[in-house]
Amino acid sequence: MDVIFGHVVTVMLPVLLCVLLGYGLAVLRAPFDRKMFGSLVANAGYPALILSHLAKDHIELGAFLNVLLAAACMILIFGVLGFGILKLLGLPVQAYLSPMMLSNVGNIGLPVTTLAFGAEGAAVALGFVVVVLAAIFTIGVALPIGKPDFKTLAKQPVIYAVMVALVLMETGWSLPGPVDQSLSILAGLAVPIMLLTLGHSLATLKFGNLGRAATLSVIHICFSVVAALALTSVFPFSGAQQNAVILLCFMPPSVATYLAVSQHRPDDAPAVAGFIFLSTLMTLLTLPLVLTYWAA
């Protein structure tokens, strides 16, 4: 048990410290351009991570395609269950369904799975990141606004990075040495910037209705259990891949979904922010438990 506890601390503490640093920067009102950092991660960090990890045999092509399908199924499970519970509770689907079904597999999931399961875990997390990112610009935008943003989605470099990575995985080709080293350097900036940005974003959310937020957060964790059981039963993942999938199912709602809600459903925005904030805090309890007793 001491060994497992030490492993959990090693995984979670660096993530928590980076998030707290970003939170502290917001509290101190230190200069922090979230838009610029977000653009840097989306246009350089994520594509570099994808190419540097997927082109190095950290995961086989067939397994990665299963990861993409599993990520889509996870969104579907959260979406169906979320729609039902929101209708039952009488809450607006247009405001709450996108954060209910789209998890923070990037800012939290990628660092945690990388620290817990190494390069193979990172490759699985990147598959989830790609699918959830595509869903954010389609479902996540369409629900509050009423129409998807395919134009913005088509401009995301991660989509094309995945296409290149799939070709490299299928053909067995390798990137030239200098290109590979450059991608490794660029990939190194993504995780710390994502964690700092997450902490900064949480500090600047204006939230309310914490009672409702607590209820939805607990329900979201229950959905995570269902999704993890379903995906590990259906898909033939093994070892670190299966553990990474389980862990990714327990990620909190994506902060990125809040932007469309705040712009187009402003009356519901504080309560949605409360749901996202409290769910993120609850991961400090749920993820160590999952790492200790399930995805060990």
Q: From its phi and psi, is residue 159 left (phi > 0), alpha (psi between -120 and 50) or beta?
A: alpha
pLDDT per residue of the chain (296 residues) written in tens, 0 to 9: 555 556 677 888 889 999 999 999 999 999 999 889 988 988 998 999 888 887 676 788 899 999 999 999 999 999 999 999 999 999 999 999 999 999 999 889 999 999 999 989 999 999 999 999 999 988 888 888 878 888 888 888 988 999 998 888 888 788 888 888 998 888 888 889 999 999 999 998 888 788 999 999 999 999 999 999 999 999 999 889 999 999 999 999 998 898 888 888 888 999 999 999 999 999 989 999 999 989 87
| Joined tokens for residue 233 | 């039963």
162-203 pLDDT, tens digit per residue, is 999 888 888 878 888 888 899 888 888 888 999 999 999 999
pLDDT at 155: 87
14/47 Cα distance (integer angstroms)? 23
CA–centroid distance for 115 within its chain = 15
69-109 pLDDT, tens digit per residue, is 999 999 999 999 999 999 999 999 999 999 999 999 988 99
- Are residues 85 and 169 in contact, defined by beta-carbon separation less than 8 angstroms? no
> What's the pTM value of the predicted model, to 2 decimals?
0.91
* Residue 103 DSSP label: B
Is 228 in a helix, a strand, or coil? helix
Is 293 in a helix, a strand, or coil? helix
Is 120 in a helix, a strand, or coil? helix
Instruction: Give the other-Cβ count within 10 Å of 99's Cβ.
Output: 29
